[in-house]
Amino acid sequence: MRRATTRGRRAAALLLGAVALLPAACGSGGDEGVPLVNLYNAPQENLEAIVARCNDLAAGRYRILLNTLPRDADGQREQLVRRLAAADPGLDVLGLDVTWTAELAEAGWIREWTGDHAAQAREGTLAKPLETAVWQGKLYAAPYNTNVQLLWYRSDLVPSPPRTWNEMMAVAAELAARGKPHYGEVTGAQYEGLVVWFNSLVASAGGQILNTGGTQVALGPPALKALDVMRAYATSKAADPSLPNTQEDAARLAMEGGRAAFEVNWPFVYASMAANKPDMLPVFKWAPYPGIDGAGASPLGGGNFAVSTYSEHPEESFQAALCLRDPASQLTAAVKDGLPPTIESVYKDPAMAEPYPMRDAILDALKTAAPRPKTPTYQNVSTMISAALSPPAEIDSPVTLAELREQISAALQSKGVLP
């Protein structure tokens, strides 16, 4: 009797242990047969409206559920790669920064676009944005929005816009001598913006950071020229004292606050100026991105839609992604959220005229814009570049160049240690 009780209790104890070990059952959603397409994208105010339109058009073929990623690019990437590395089937359509294509494609986390889907994604799409979605000759995403930086200036202070960085420094010195606002804002903080600046300067000087395949460091004399310009600019009258800490938003605020005479920045500054300082808007003009000897190569940004390898509804995901970036969706994103379209015809829409008076300048800049290096280790390469170039006033061109060469090579082989 006693034994029996003990055995009973022992069995109960084991059972309890076993129950504790059982994984929590997780229910995966989806209502009555309509495939659920989980969209993960950076915060965008009116994306919900775009999603709603596509859900209506889908008419029950699929239903897109919008999931919003963190606000900062690193946070977005971290969440995506962490879940993709764990083969999470809960992600279907991914909103990617243009610099992530190679990394995710090489790791096998996003699907190649082929056949009809690829043809639709390519149709009418501008060449430069499309190129950001390609890795090793294959299409891995559908371009959603693009972006280029322009030179923004106050025509009351600067009658004719400078065309090169040297001219900017000269204009600033002249304004300073007259006691006028003379700062020319640029993203000089130790982050991606500094890499963007350097990349554009190297491209403007006729070079590139990596070779075309992204396998080796290129740099060379154009990079040396770019470093010289960065250092000269950071120590010139044009440099705001807070240049080593300036990101896009600080540049915009310095301009709106009247401290700066010009800035290089993305077109969102125009809508912001219209909203915050309407009386300054008539003198707030734009010009092509400055170059070194001649015309400059503007930085190229933007976002693309990719489909996760682990998606359980790939066909529906491709269709959803195509709808989310069709001309009507892109027009909404452009007009309501300030995201320049990747489909050329959208620029001709009458609704674009008022929010985008600079649309022709954007299209022009897109012809010569400088894409950032394509490599699966872009994150490492970028971290190393921004660390080596910060603060820009302390660049010692030949030494910095040697340092860049060494650290980027290590980063390319993923052998380097990140700070």
Partner 1 sequence: MTTPAPATRRALTEGQRSERRLGLWLCAPAALIMVLVTGWPIVYSVLLSLQRYDLRFPDDRAWVGLSNYAVVLTNEFWWSAFWVTLVITVISVSIELVLGMLLALAMYRAIVGRGLVRTVVLIPYGIVTVAAAYGWKYAWTPGTGWLAAMLPEGTAPLTDRVSAIAIIILAEVWKTTPFMALLLMAGMAVVPEELLRAASMDGATRWQGFAHVLLPLMKPAILVALLFRTLDAFRIFDNIYVLTNGSQNTASVSITAYHNLIGGLNLGIGNTMSVLILISVAIIAVVFIVGFGTAAPGSGR
Which chain residues interact with partner 1 by CB under 8 A?
2-3, 6, 9-10, 13-14, 16-18, 20-21, 74, 77-78, 81-82, 85, 103, 106-108, 190-191, 241-242, 244-245, 376-377, 379-380, 383, 414-415, 417-419
Q: Given the complex with partner 1, which of 101 and 330 has the nearer CB atom? A: 101
Q: Given the complex with partner 1, which of 74 and 360 has the nearer CB atom? A: 74
Per the DSSP assignment, residues forming a β-bridge with 291 are 164
Spatial CA neighbour of 395 closest among 232, 197, 185 = 232
Q: Given the complex with partner 1, which of 161 and 188 has the nearer CB atom? A: 188
Angle among Cα 243, 247, 248 to the nearest 5 degrees reads 120
Q: Sign (positive/negative) of CA torsion 138, 108, 193, 48?
A: positive
CB of residue 98 to partner 1, shortest distance in Å: 17
Q: Say how far apart CA 194 and CA 234 lie, in whole Å.
A: 12
CB of residue 377 to partner 1, shortest distance in Å: 7
CB of residue 242 to partner 1, shortest distance in Å: 7
Q: Given the complex with partner 1, which of 27 and 419 has the nearer CB atom? A: 419
Q: Which long-range contacts (CB under 8 A, 24 or more apart) does 250-258 make?
A: 250/185, 250/189, 251/185, 251/186, 251/187, 252/185, 254/183, 254/185, 255/152, 255/154, 255/185, 255/284, 256/280, 258/181
Q: Given the complex with partner 1, which of 254 and 333 has the nearer CB atom? A: 254
CB of residue 391 to partner 1, shortest distance in Å: 10
CB of residue 83 to partner 1, shortest distance in Å: 12
Q: Given the complex with partner 1, which of 77 and 252 has the nearer CB atom? A: 77
Pick left, alpha or beta for residue 219 (phi over 0 → left; psi -120 to 50 → alpha; otherwise beta). left
CA end-to-end distance (rounded Å), the chain:
67
Tell me how far CA of residue 352 lies from CA of 6, 38, 173, 324, in angstroms.
Answer: 80, 30, 37, 19
CB of residue 103 to partner 1, shortest distance in Å: 5
Q: Given the complex with partner 1, which of 149 and 380 has the nearer CB atom? A: 380
H or E element that contains 84: helix 73-85
CB of residue 21 to partner 1, shortest distance in Å: 7
